[in-house]
Structure 1
Amino acid sequence: MSPEPVLVTGSDYREWLGQLKTRFGQVQLKAAVAVNRALLQFYWELGADIVAKQQAYAWGSGFLDQLSADLMRDFPDVKGFSPRNLKYIRQWRLFWQGQAIGQHAVAQLQSLPWGHNLAILAKCKQSEEALYYVGAALQYGWSRSVLIHQMESDLWQREGRAITNFAQTLPAAQSDLAAQVLKDPYVFDFLSLTPEHSERELETTLVAHITQFLLELGAGFAYIGRQVPLQVGERDFFLDLLFYHTRLHCYVVVELKTVDFEPEFAGKLNFYLKAVDEQLRGEGDQPTIGLLLCKSKDRLVAEYALSDIQKPMGLSTYTLSHTLPEALRGQLPSIEQLERELGLDAGADEAAQAGKAEP
């Protein structure tokens, strides 16, 4: 009789096994990326061939049907040779063929999944916009659904459009990056609020949908809390929303206003930024940045108001894609009920904030 196998259960084996699984996962990922890049390079060259053959021989649309049938006869399991996909390949190459893009841009296109490329092709009309989304999708690792959401919300048109005083209050490198982080307007299409919603309602529902809120804010924002308490002298003050930005390496205070911008809002936020810098900012943190989110603004008034403010801040507006009719208000749970159900009451936030270690 053969001896019974001895099971290895020691910590050294488990640690090595974990490392082995991690390494194999990395190999699988690298292989998938390499396969995708090779496939997209083939599509790129195939698209060029299709365009060139049709121009040289005046082959009509039936050419793609015949090509599809001939290729699928030898490669029946390859979905990429369907007539529909061959048309997409031709359209993809034609779109970029007339653009002045370099090899780096082509390499970026070939690094994105094919579904991402098709989504960009369907949504973008000009190369500058398309290249923006190609680069952003690669940089932030967007899924196709996130990419489509960002394109449908016109992120390209909104990014870096907030009114700020960063050029006067931050070093050049930090100023440029901070300005690019903010956008105008912010689109809260994941909220359903009445047209007369209060600041508390807006704040509560944003936190209740924190995942979508962080997606709209953009990469790098880490949520810390709402109604964060600060004591100055004998008085207590509360920040609407507090974030930390991992790329800017600074706190970001967000103040919500459901009315038109007024100059005094900037003065109050300036006070909050001073308090955060004094009480929360740690060694290695950059100066705290403020963001005023208002229902609307007069641009000239906003620029005047921010011009003499000493602390870095930006001003943006927000939009709601859909609002609830007033008649439905009484049929919905109150803000207090929502807060209790979600655990978002001020007491819970204060307790969580008190237990949070400073970075």
Structure 2
Amino acid sequence: MNLIENTKAYIEWVEEIKGAIKKAQIKASISVNHELIKLNWIIGKSISEKIQIENWGASVVDNLSKDLQKQFPNQQGYSRSNLFSMRKWYEFYSNSGLEEAKVQQLVGQIPWGHNILIITKSNDIDEAIFYINKTIENNWSRTILAHQIDLELYERSGKAINNFETTLPEIQSELANETLKDPYKFDFLTLTEKALEKDIEEQLVSHITAFLLELGGGFSFVGRQVPIKIDGEDFYIDLLFYHIRLKCYIVIELKSVKFRAEYAGKMNLYLSAVDDLIKTDDENPTIGLLLCKSKSSIIAEYALRGTTQPIGVAEYEIVKSIPKDLKPNLPTIEEIEKELATTFCISNGR
């Protein structure tokens, strides 16, 4: 075979080899991390038992640290503080009543630094497991994980008022409910509390990467002020997204005022139109999210009770600026557009 004449075949072959190597490297790194976490669990458990059961005293950790660093001078992780972290980490989960094997399997899927951050900032085992699962699901860096914890994602997730239970299949309903939160915290906007809807919308789009981070994993941006013609009349959707895991469009309408019952009616119109004019047959029903400055939970519940389209209602908050060290971890607009284009090609069979 003449490689010069078959350049394309050669390049494709090289890419296959590269892909195989990368997959092997990922598997190896996961395996190494799992073994490291397993080792730290064993050490933490042993330290805990020596101090609590055999009453050796906490000073034994100082001696252990010195001996381990002497024996393994080229290995990090055996400092006094890290050994105490191993003990704290083990005791956090061992006191929870969960089966030890299941805990080890779960915590072994994220890096050591993530593990310590989670137990340090979590109030209970349920919160810790929530952040572990979110880290695995979204492949968060430690910086992004810390940011999400600081923004109290656990307290906000699944809190949006919605009618998903009566408008979506059970599995879809549960995932949609977990996807939404309340309130949404737009800590990356430079706006006053009296900002108009169009101002908020403009800044959300201009800060699309940070906005997608706050929305959560799976969201891809489709467009702003998306035009829809219904019986000769023009309507414009504030923000249109596509959710990869839910496999559906999500319409977001911004309201710089308190929620009003009539907003649900207009959202119902938009969802019906998107389902008829944009959604394909193999995609799930479109979901609506009304983001308001404030709301009455009772009025929101009543407004959604009789609607047949899946709608959620949540508040938003404009708070402080996003940390500078978080920005390098966010995807670029080009990356988002590439992901969205790939998603649409797959969904359309291209």
Shift of 1:56: 4.2
Aligned partner letter, 2:218: G
User: How much identity, in percent, do the aligned residues show?
Assistant: 43
Shift of 1:55: 2.8
Aligned to 1:87: 84
Unaligned runs of 5+ in 2: 322-332, 334-343
Provide the rounded CA distance (Å) in 2 between the counterparts of 1:228 and 1:204.
14
Are 2:204 and 2:211, in contact at CA under 8 Å, matched by a contact in 1? Answer: yes
Alignment of 1:164-313 (within 5 A): 164-313=162-311
Aligned to 1:54: 51
- Tell me if 1:163 matches 2:161: yes
Instruction: Return 237-246 or 60-69, whichever deviates more.
Output: 60-69
Deviations 1:175-195 (A, max 9, x none): 222222111111111112112
Are 1:253 and 1:288, in contact at CA under 8 Å, matched by a contact in 2? Answer: yes
Aligned partner letter, 1:13: Y
- Tell me if 1:44 matches 2:41: yes
The verdict on how the C-alpha distance between 1:27 and 1:171 changes in structure 2, with shifts beyond 3 A counting, is: closer
Shift of 1:202: 0.4
Are 1:187 and 1:320, in contact at CA under 8 Å, matched by a contact in 2? Answer: yes
Deviations 1:112-157 (A, max 9, x none): 1001001102111211110111122112211111111111111111
Give the TM-score normalised by the residue count of structure 2: 0.87
Alignment of 1:107-118 (within 5 A): 107-118=105-116
Aligned to 2:326: none
Shift of 1:57: 4.0
Are 2:252 and 2:289, in contact at CA under 8 Å, matched by a contact in 1? Answer: yes
Aligned to 1:20: 17
Provide the rounded CA distance (Å) in 1 between the counterparts of 2:316 and 2:110.
31
Instruction: Return 299-308 or 169-178, whichever deviates more.
Output: 169-178
For the pair shown, the structure with the greater C-alpha radius of gyration is 1
Alignment of 1:120-131 (within 5 A): 120-131=118-129
Provide the rounded CA distance (Å) in 2 between the counterparts of 1:48 and 1:179.
37
Provide the rounded CA distance (Å) in 2 between the counterparts of 1:99 and 1:284.
43
Give the TM-score normalised by the residue count of structure 1: 0.85
Are 2:257 and 2:293, in contact at CA under 8 Å, matched by a contact in 1? Answer: yes
Provide the rounded CA distance (Å) in 2 between the counterparts of 1:207 and 1:251.
17
- What is the aligned-residue RMSD (CA, Å)? 1.9
Q: How many residues align?
A: 322
The verdict on how the C-alpha distance between 1:170 and 1:89 changes in structure 2, with shifts beyond 3 A counting, is: same
Unaligned runs of 5+ in 1: 1-6, 324-341, 343-355
Shift of 1:13: 3.1
Are 1:105 and 1:131, in contact at CA under 8 Å, matched by a contact in 2? Answer: no
